[in-house]
Amino acid sequence: MSEWLVLTLAMGAACLVVLIVAVVRHHAAPADEDPSETPDVIEYITMMIGVVYAIVLGLAIAGVWEARSAAQDQVQTEAQALHEISERVRVYPEDVRDRIRADIDAYVGHVVTTEWKVMAEKGEVTERGTELFDTVRHEVTDYEPRSDFEAQAYQPLLDQVAVADAARGSRADSTGETMPGVVWFGLIIGAVVTVGMVFALQIRRTARELILAGLFSALIAFLLFLVWDFDAPYSRGLSATADPFLALFPNAGG
């Protein structure tokens, strides 16, 4: 299902529920009920609940956005480290250099064409990707420099392998959802309470009040959708992409 369709349905459902409740409450209200008699304490509590929930919701959006940005940074770091390895091995003998570059190309090609889909669908990296990366690592670390010039390049190459390995590990750890279930429980309950408190103000079935109540509930649904969309850094709409790999290794896409 398209994520835009999910958003539309969520916002529409939120508006519909609020409007139905408002209409039912209007018909069920006593004939002598006066909306202007809403106690000041209820208005104050409603305002405070809205403020507190807005802060919590804002923190949730900031948290998942930061996780998404960190995931994209990890991809950039991994791609850049592999590119550095591919460039710096030019000081090695031709056969060694070509072998390492071929192994890097094989690994990057697998990440872009296969592993990325697995991360999006299953929330994990592939064993084949790990094997290909280990091959790159072994080719770099097992080579014995034959000159001082090669020896000077050897340690920086090991450092770049370590950087790429750490970035791959971080990517593997962040493939799933980042928001704990208990936080989602609080966000959803908070949304219900926040929207529900609108009815404590004794809104009536006037066009202005119904439109405002519907827009408010749609806004809450939209913000919750943003949290959900950012929550899985590699598998939903505004997700981290493999563009850094494709930019540095143009032939990786096949």
End-to-end CA distance of the chain: 28
Q: What is the pLDDT of residues 87-146, one digit of tens each?
A: 999 999 999 999 999 999 999 999 999 998 888 888 888 999 999 999 999 999 988 888
Q: What is the pLDDT of residues 164-184, one digit of tens each?
A: 999 999 988 888 777 888 888
Mean pLDDT of the chain: 83
